[in-house]
Amino acid sequence: MAYLGNPKETIAVLQKYGFNFQKKYGQNFLIDSHVLDKIIEAAEIGPEDFVLEIGPGIGTMTQYLAEAAREVVAVEIDRKLIPILEDTLSEYDNVTVINEDILKVDLASLARERNQGKPMKVVANLPYYITTPIIMGLFEKGVPLESITVMVQKEVADRMQVGPGTKDYGALSLAVQYYSEPKVVANVPPNCFIPRPDVGSAVIRLTRYEKSPVEVKDAGFMFRLIRAAFNQRRKTLQNGLHNSKELQLEKSTIVETLEKMGLPATVRGEQLSLEEFAQLSDLLQSAE
């Protein structure tokens, strides 16, 4: 059986099927077995685990996952890859491939059917353009998750784990850190992929919190505040919040609340920690 973790086998499969990379799907296939081993290790995949893989491509990482896990469900959006996956995964009876857009799959019912509703592990090599919607969808839809181990563009991985006052800090940092503990486990250079991307990548593991480290009365309202604060990064926080059509807050209420928190009128969203956004959220809600 041919393992796909090397360039020779990958090229042979692509040629056999006359596969053309689709720019719209941001396809870059991994061709480095060391990186694949690192991902399996970082995701802590064991023989009891049910794994959801997003974007299996030609099945490179799927082979590794299938050998380590009890069961793998791989969701692939590109119809042209389905016959290739049927071929490259033909020797595994613990893999199911679903030809679907991950954002449209009912993952909670998948966990119920395949994993008795217990938390599952997610592993993915995500294209840049859709990283944030996929990760936020996994967290916000209440899918039972133990961890998400993903390959993403390096700057996105950096963004997920930075704190206030840095240029990469934003809504994604706050959301990821509200739901999980982020940890970059490997940096991956462009030459580990076919075709080579223009930028470096990183593998990051997001370990889901059973209970968020920050308490807030209404997380939905807090995230609306966060989005408003970063939609206009260059504006002061009070202007950003006041301008938001989503919030419809009185300027005077915002000013008073910031004063109550001991924050200057000129403060910007990027200077507030997750705890401070939670406090701001609770104060603004009780002021309404």
Write down the pTM of the prediction: 0.92
Quote the crossing angle between the two packed helices 251-260 and 274-287, to the nearest 10°. Answer: 130
For 170, 215, 232, the CA distances from 27, given in Å and listed in that order, are: 26, 39, 31
Instruction: Average pLDDT across each block of 10 residues of the chain; the chain has 288 residues. List them in order.
Output: 81 89 80 93 96 96 96 96 96 97 94 94 88 90 93 94 93 95 96 92 96 94 94 89 90 94 94 97 89
| Domain architecture of the chain: domains with CATH | 7-208 (3.40.50.150), 219-287 (1.10.8.100)
Q: What is the token pair recorded at 218?
A: 């209404």
Phi/psi for 279 (5° steps) reads: -65, -45
> What per-residue confidence (pLDDT) applies to 22?
74
> What per-residue confidence (pLDDT) applies to 1?
60
Listed as own residue / partner, the contacts of 98-103 with beta carbons closer than 8 Å and 24 or more positions apart are 98/73, 98/74, 100/75, 100/76, 101/77, 102/54, 102/55, 102/75, 102/77, 102/134, 102/137, 103/133, 103/134, 103/137
